[in-house]
């Protein structure tokens, strides 16, 4: 939310697109909120957000996909166990 107008922002104000490249960066990466550090927590969250990192086999075996996601994120957050 924009603190000066109270309007809902369309995207995070810390997100930057590098000039002449299709690369996005976070201006506060080292100090980003925990929600950002922990994302994505679940495979369902990735499905809901239409994450392009999902693979067909992840959808076919979401339990195995969650285990892989937990492994990838082990330095960032505790494992998610439904």
Tokens at 43, concatenated: 């495979």
Quick note: the x/- pattern for ligand SF4 over 4-23, rule CB under 6 A, is: --------x-xx--------
Does residue 36 touch ligand SF4 according to CB under 6 A? yes
79 secondary structure, DSSP code: P
Nearest approach in angstroms of CB 73 to ligand SF4 is 14
Strands (E), the chain: 15-17, 24-26
Does residue 28 touch ligand SF4 according to CB under 6 A? yes
Q: Give whichever of 12 and 47 is closer to ligand SF4, judged by the CB atom.
A: 12
Distance CA 11, CA 7 (A): 12
């Amino acid at each position: 939310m924009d603190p000066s107008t109270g309007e809902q922002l369309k995207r995070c104000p810390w997100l930057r697109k590098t000039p002449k490249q299709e690369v996005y960066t976070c201006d506060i990466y080292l100090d980003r909120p925990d929600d950002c550090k922990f994302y994505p927590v679940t495979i369902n969250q990735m499905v809901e957000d239409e994450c392009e990192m999902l693979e067909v086999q992840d959808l076919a075996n979401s339990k195995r996909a969650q285990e892989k996601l937990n492994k990838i994120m082990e330095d960032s957050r505790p494992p998610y166990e439904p």
